[in-house]
Structure 1
Amino acid sequence: MRMKYIIVIIIIIMNLTILNADEYRIVDSRNGKTLTLQQMAKGLEKYDIIFFGEFHDNATLHQLERELVPLLDTKRELILSLEMFERDVQSDLDAYIEGWLSEDEFLAKSRPWSNYQDDYRPLIEYAKQKKLTVIAANIPRSIAGKMARTGPDFTETLAEEDKKWLPDKIDYPDDSYKKAFLATLEDMHSPMMNNNPDWLYQAQCLKDETMAESIVNALKMKPKARVLHFNGDFHSRNFSGTVSRVQSILPNKKIAVISPSYSENWQTANLTAEEKKSGTYIIYLPNQGGEQ
């Protein structure tokens, strides 16, 4: 058992390799100043809820996530929250963190994303080592998929067992968030556009609503804790999506958003007006495209 613990520590240390300075640039959106990761972490200490928006396929962002977690794991209790795990596996996630499930059992039960091993395992292993609370924040993908295929009346076909994972309410605002979502689908030439675009947007809102409720419920249980939530950039960019829903329920909580941005001139670029609004901190990355 002790040897297994030592191996876990070695793996975590290996995954916390320092990034080369030329792979990214962090900018404070309020003043345009370039910051180190440590300086950003220091600035984040005054926030109650932090949204880290990622491009799911970008290795640099995943490395930054791994390096940021211990920097925020200070005197104030830290809760990790992930889009990448779904509500119905919360008990399995808890059991693994507490050591009641083996890793093989946990992975067999929890439906990890295909990039779990490289990108999210280090976060879970750190939480396991430090016994941090981790939130499986998202709606089960089977439920969101059913909504995307059949529309808002999908609940009529859900089994009673599945209904308990739904958030208490779901709103589908006809606003700039919807406009941006539909435009993104068109730009990506997504095959999902073969479905009703409004239903796809409503499924997106279902995810936002569920993740927001999961975060809020965690803070109701531990109101003095800080939540660090990881999600695809679109869910939190411009303080919309999941962020706006949390803000509406917890207006007195201080919320920060970290948003990435690809740029050809990422080393020297000044923030655009759009980027200034997209987050509290912007992470510039070499222009290479990426999924959100």
Structure 2
Amino acid sequence: MTQSIKTNLQESARIVTETHRGLERKKKEKQRKIFFCLLPFTFYCLLSALPAYAETEKNSCPPRFVLTTPSNNVDITFKDWDKTCGNLKSYILSFEEMLLALNKSNVVYLGEIHNNPKDHKNQLKIIQELYKQNPKIAIAMEMFQKPYQGVVNQYLAGKITEEELIEKSEYEKRWGFPWQNYAPILNFAKEKQLSVITLNTPSEITRKVAQKGLESLTPSEQKLIPPLSEIQTNNEEYRQQLESVFQQHQAANHGNSTDIENFFQAQVLWDETMAEGIAKFRKTYPNYQIIVLAGQGHIIYDYGIPSRVARRLKGEKFIQRSVLLSPPDNINQPKQKKAIADFVLQGGLR
């Protein structure tokens, strides 16, 4: 329950108490009956006002650090520690403690560094451990683009080989990071007959938006993405964060965009498309836990995918948790309005 709701509830209780004291004795019993009749309705209204997704840490509170291997030598420091965040020791968790929290979540984001093999091995470990607790899980993957859902389904059903999956999904062309990073995860999904959701926007569309903007898309191209009205680019903090990424791309002569606005639109389109896929699956299969595999940039501070999933599921009570599988370059940013993630793995392979 949020602090504001607690405060409102306390204030309501104070007013009711003072009112009772001022009533005549003959009216007390009647008022008491009315109060207790209305209390369940009042409590229901308060519950309805709770947020649709998990609250985040206050301003300068960092994420929980998860030690994947017990060690007394892990160097974890927090500059300008805010004592209102509580005991610093409570921010250092074991892998098992993190799993307990993730097990209670409806959507779990595993933020990877694409070319880090350790991240992918920890992804598989987390998926396997969550499966033990709840076999009703689905794996949502940034690595496959939406038009190739049928190809992935064929592989999971045993109708095509792994080599055919790579070829028919155009994996090398459309993603290109080492296949061996993801093969064990897909093999596990096939073995356990888990759903795998292809999340990503087709490369042709993302590239075109990066070069010419959203308005350049044809009606046929727009059918492959969320409605333009749902592609929201009004998060200024996210825009500022991506401006630095854009500048790095320009300095290294990378990317398809020479315009920051088009670059931002392409990134948001990417996020919105993936969020739409997650939200649709959640609405269709509400009893399933969704484990999302995506790059850290789509997850940190909830700017990318998580906030856009929450927007699409507004009014539904569910819990999202985010895990960074490797520490990001800059984890201590006390001026941010929320923690960079819920958990950050520290210490290498589990």
Give the TM-score, by structure 1 length.
0.79
Deviations 1:76-97 (A, max 9, x none): 5101001111100000001111
Partner of 1:254: 319
Alpha-carbon contact 1:24-1:283 (below 8 Å) kept: no
Corresponding residue to 2:267 among 191, 194, 204? 204
User: In the alignment, which residue of structure 2 is the partner of 1:153?
Assistant: 215
Question: CA separation in 2, counterparts of 1:274 and 1:128?
Answer: 44
CA distance in structure 2 between the partners assigned to 1:76 and 1:103 by the alignment: 23
Supply the RMSD in Å over aligned alpha carbons. Answer: 2.9
Deviations along 1:62-111, whole A, 9 cap, x unmatched?
11111111111133510100111110000000111111112222111112
Alignment of 1:183 with 2:244, yes or no, is: yes
Structure 1 CA distance for aligned equivalents of residues 114 and 226 of structure 2: 25
One-letter amino acid matched to 2:289: R
Give the aligned partner of residue 131 of structure 1. 193
Over 3 Å counting, the alpha-carbon distance change for 1:58 and 1:24 in structure 2 is farther
- TM-superposition CA deviations, 1:166-195 (whole Å, max 9, x none): 113312124100110111222453423861
For 1:26 and 1:120, the matched residues in 2 are separated by: 30
Partner of residue 140 from structure 1, selected from 202, 206, 216: 202
- The amino acid that maps onto 2:310 is Q
Tell me the distance in 1 between the aligned counterparts of 2:248 and 2:226: 30
Counterpart of 2:286 in structure 1 is: 223
* Partner Cα distance (2:147, 2:256) in 1: 28
Report what 2:119 is aligned to: 61
Describe the SS at the equivalent of 2:182: helix
Q: CA deviation at 1:24?
A: 8.4
Structure 1, 247-256 or 208-217: larger mean CA deviation: 247-256
Equivalent residue number for residue 158 of structure 2: 99
Structure 2 residue runs without a partner (length 5+): 1-67, 78-84
CA contact (8 A) 1:37 1:68 kept: no
Match of 2:342 in 1: 280
Shift of 1:116: 4.1
Q: Which amino acid aligns with 1:198?
A: E
Is the contact made by 2:231 and 2:269 (CA closer than 8 Å) also made in structure 1? Answer: yes
| Higher-strand-fraction structure | 1
Moved more, 185-194 or 276-285: 185-194
What residue number does 2:93 align with? 35
Q: Which amino acid aligns with 1:137?
A: L
Structure 1 residues 47 and 239, CA gap change in structure 2 (3 angstroms): same
Aligned counterpart, 1:244: 307
Are the aligned partners of 2:210 and 2:257 in contact in 1 as well (CA < 8 Å)? Answer: no
Deviation of the 1:37 alpha carbon: 2.5
Q: 1:240 to 1:258 in 2, by over 3 A?
A: same
Aligned to 1:70: 128
Structure 2 vs 1, CA of residues 142 and 242 (structure 1 numbering), >3 Å: closer, same or farther? same
* Structure 1 stretch displaced more, 235-244 or 251-260: 251-260
Give distance in 2, aligned partners of 1:245 and 1:120: 25
List gaps (5 residues or longer) in structure 1. Answer: 1-18, 265-269, 287-292
Q: Contact 2:69–2:347 (CA<8 Å) still a contact in 1?
A: no
The 2-side partners of 1:193 and 1:86 are apart by 18
| 8 Å Cα contact 2:109/2:321 also seen in 1 | yes
SS of 1:114's partner is coil
Partner of 1:11: none
Offset at residue 163 of structure 1 (A):
3.5
Which amino acid in structure 1 is aligned with residue 274 of structure 2? M
2:103 pairs with 39, 42, 45, which one?
A: 45
Distance of 1:119 and 1:237 partners within structure 2: 22
Residue-pair matches, total? 259
Q: Secondary structure at the match of 2:234?
A: coil
**Match for 2:127: what amino acid?**
V
Q: SS of 1:94's equivalent?
A: helix
Shift in Å, 1:20: 6.1
Whole-Å Cα distance in 1 between the matches of residues 178 and 75 of structure 2?
25
Aligned partner of residue 318 in structure 2, secondary structure: coil
Tell me if the contact between 1:185 and 1:193 (Cα under 8 Å) persists in the aligned partners.
no
Residues 255 and 174 (structure 1 numbering): CA distance in 2 closer, same or farther, change over 3 Å?
closer
Aligned to 1:84, the other structure's residue is in SS state strand
Cα shift at 1:59: 2.0
1:231 Cα offset (Å): 0.8
